[in-house]
Amino acid sequence: MATQTMTELVASLSPKEQEAVRALVEYIRSSSSLSEAPQSQSPFIAAAQEFIRQHPDLLQRLAQ
């Protein structure tokens, strides 16, 4: 996805959704430098799974 398109997509989200995206990006950035994920799993997948574990209520509201 092009950067401009991603920027437009995030800009169209509600403030809470934008905060969730920001938190996910920050988590991915911080966890990729820590290398705590197993070698068989990509850092993005590990970050996404951790985000899902930490924010199930937010994800449920987004799905509605």
pLDDT along the chain (64 residues), means of 10: 72 88 82 56 82 83 73
- What CA–CA distances, in Å, run from 4 to 8, 15, 46, 50? 6, 19, 26, 27
- Note the pLDDT of residue 37: 44
- Note the pLDDT of residue 18: 86
For the whole prediction, is pTM greater than 0.85?
A: no
- Note the pLDDT of residue 52: 85
Q: How many CB atoms lie within 10 A of CB 16?
A: 11
